[in-house]
A = this chain, B = another copy of it.
């Protein structure tokens, strides 16, 4: 009866933590919660309160809202989320970088359309280190990344620095 179906939130937190490559205790300390409790949260044995959730979000350096949505605590939320616009207006990166970011983002959008409805259900069960279902980036995008990923062989891509 009292079996909370919070399952996905714990997995999500664990994924984020492992992605950040920090230990359970480290995140617990950063979030200001106890280690065992975080362990229980991650395995879905406990349902963290909003405060704890907020602390964990801070410890993970992720948006509280995202975590709340994952926990199914926020349902509405439709932020403009205009990543493209934000990238375009960002003065802190170069034109080149801007274009690469936009290309990558658009590529992501194409390959992973998020099934339209991001309900309270988890987005994807496991983000293992072996994403078999992830599609590779288009070649031209990789080419755009090459100047950054250079030094690992293959030589520099023809970087036509058209901006200037």
Contacts and interface: CB of A to CB of B under 8 A. Distances in A.
Total identical chains: 2
Contact of A89 (B49, B79, B109): B79
Interface in A115-142: 116, 118-120, 122-131, 134-137, 139-142
Main secondary structure of the interface of A (DSSP, over half): loop
Nearest to A157: B157
B145 A90 contact: no
Given A63-B76, A136-B147, A87 B83 contact: yes
Contacts of A97: 108, 112, 128
A149 interface: yes
5 contacts: A94-B123, A94-B124, A95-B124, A134-B148, A143-B156
Given A93-B114, A97-B128, 5 more contacts: A12-B95, A65-B74, A65-B76, A97-B112, A142-B152
